[in-house]
Chain A
Amino acid sequence: MPGAAAPGVPGPDRLIKVGTMGEEQQQTTLGRVITFTSGKGGVGKTTTTANVGAALAALGKSVVLIDADIGLRNLDIVLGLENRIVYDLVDVVEGNCRLRQAMIRDKRLNSLHLIPAAQTREKEAVSPQQMKALCDELRRQFDFILIDSPAGIEQGFRNSIAGADEVVVVTNPEVSSVRDADRIIGLVEAAELPTPRLIVNRLNPMLVRRGDMMSVEDVTDILSIPLLGIVPDDETIVTSTNRGEPAALDPRSRAGQAFRNIAARLTGQDVPLMVMEEPDGAFRRFLRAIGLGGGNQGGVAVRGGGG
């Protein structure tokens, strides 16, 4: 649904502080700052942040995404905005530009914005205090401020949670990312933030069914935090990322549907967890129909509370 920016939502540019020029308009209710983190790299934090942000914007929310991975900028290219960067997060905190100059407005959804990471600086170029001040500023202008945390547990991570109201931990159903998720959960709780919520990303229902991948229930048993969503392993993520078009905007993408569900849950809607179908569902159904496909009936319903 490209171009689905909801009419009636004030253009975020008008909400943004414009310094000495023009009036300043602010939201009466403050936005929420939500940090996506994982500990381990490569579990899909950036993809999740981009897609949940796009899905929230498609729901008519005003959204700004912050790429906090200074030195390893990526949220821009995942969103297809890499050619439009002039200023970045470090420019904002150092006062080299006004806040709105560093915000890139998405081509498809005009309520979606990105503040890109600096590519040639160190994590230490931004302090937790500066991030907190930035979040406080953005909270008055947007419904949702989503922060894409870098991997690791060092300053980049600390910066990412400094201004957060909520944290979402992204994990894959495999041992190293679950172990790192456990570590991150401990650090989030030590920082006196609310208990984070969990996204299990890249679930392969066929592997779960044959006992070769931990189920969502296994992961939630181990991590003991509420489940925010489950995202199936889906090749549409690869193709949509290749094109710089969030899968959340592709109505046919299973992973995109999962991200849309997560966005809806973040707005307070009670959306049931997806029933995970086999990635090759149609083919297997055909085989079953002609008596070759074994005894399995349909997809694996993922279990687990929360959502």
Chain B
Amino acid sequence: MGLFDTLFGRRQASRSSQPASASVAKQRLVEVLIQDHVKLTPAAMEAIRQDIVKILSRHLDIDADALQIHITRGERGESLTANVPVRRSGVPQRR
């Protein structure tokens, strides 16, 4: 890091533990644009989550707490992905 950088406020090495602000901006934009496009409220997302848990639980022993739902952008627009950890295969034990 040269004198110029030091004098003129170039990003200091000690701050580099934080991600650069441009990548933060990009990530925030990607997320907000998904919200803008899909228009799913947090309440609607929660309802989807609960319904997925309810339906899959009929057939599989799933880890409902670890279930993750993401909406991601792809070549052909947004897609919803659910990652549902399965504790073991087969019909869940009743009772």
- A residues adjacent to B (C-beta < 8 A): 174-175, 178-179, 182-183, 186, 207-208, 210-215, 218, 221-222, 284, 287, 292-295
Chain A, Cβ-Cβ closest to B23? A211
**Are B2 and A212 in contact, CB atoms less than 8 angstroms apart?**
no
- Chain B residues, CB < 8 A from A182: 33, 36
CB distance from A106 to the nearest CB of B (A): 38
Chain A, Cβ-Cβ closest to B10? A210
- Chain B residues, CB < 8 A from A295: 2
**Are A294 and B4 in contact, CB atoms less than 8 angstroms apart?**
yes
**Are A294 and B1 in contact, CB atoms less than 8 angstroms apart?**
yes
A–B pairs, 25, beta carbons within 8 Å = A175-B25, A175-B29, A175-B32, A178-B29, A179-B33, A182-B36, A183-B36, A186-B37, A207-B22, A211-B20, A211-B22, A212-B20, A213-B22, A214-B25, A214-B26, A221-B26, A222-B29, A222-B30, A284-B4, A287-B4, A292-B3, A292-B4, A294-B1, A294-B4, A295-B2
**Looking at chain B, what size class is its interface with the partner chain?**
20 to 34
**Are B20 and A210 in contact, CB atoms less than 8 angstroms apart?**
yes
Interface string of B2-44 (1 = CB under 8 A from A): 1111000011000000001111011011101100110000000
- Chain B residues, CB < 8 A from A178: 29
- Chain B residues, CB < 8 A from A212: 11, 20-22
- How many residue pairs at the A-B interface have CB separations less than 8 Å? 56
- Chain A residues, CB < 8 A from B23: 211
**Are A211 and B11 in contact, CB atoms less than 8 angstroms apart?**
yes
Which 10 A-B pairs have CB atoms at the shortest separation, nearest pair first? A211-B20, A294-B2, A292-B3, A214-B22, A218-B26, A212-B21, A287-B4, A293-B2, A292-B2, A294-B5
- Chain B residues, CB < 8 A from A211: 11, 20-23
- Chain B residues, CB < 8 A from A183: 36
CB distance from A288 to the nearest CB of B (A): 8
CA distance A213 to B33 in the complex (A): 18
- Chain B residues, CB < 8 A from A207: 22
Interface of B is mostly: helix
- Chain A residues, CB < 8 A from B4: 284, 287, 292-294
CB distance from B47 to the nearest CB of A (A): 26
CA distance A183 to B26 in the complex (A): 16
**Are B33 and A208 in contact, CB atoms less than 8 angstroms apart?**
no
Contact among A186, A218, A287 with B22 in the assembled complex (CB-CB below 8 Å): A218
- Chain A residues, CB < 8 A from B37: 186
Chain B, Cβ-Cβ closest to A214? B22
- Chain B residues, CB < 8 A from A213: 22
CA distance A265 to B16 in the complex (A): 39
CB distance from A77 to the nearest CB of B (A): 32
Chain B, Cβ-Cβ closest to A207? B22
- Chain A residues, CB < 8 A from B21: 211-212
- Chain B residues, CB < 8 A from A222: 26, 29-30, 33
CB distance from A292 to the nearest CB of B (A): 5
- Chain B residues, CB < 8 A from A175: 25, 28-29, 32
Beyond the given A222-B26, A222-B33, A294-B2, could you list 18 further A-B residue pairs with CB under 8 A, ordered by the A residue number?
A175-B32, A179-B36, A182-B36, A210-B10, A210-B11, A210-B20, A211-B20, A211-B21, A211-B22, A212-B21, A214-B25, A214-B26, A218-B22, A218-B25, A218-B26, A292-B4, A294-B4, A295-B2
- Chain A residues, CB < 8 A from B3: 287, 292
**Are B25 and A179 in contact, CB atoms less than 8 angstroms apart?**
no
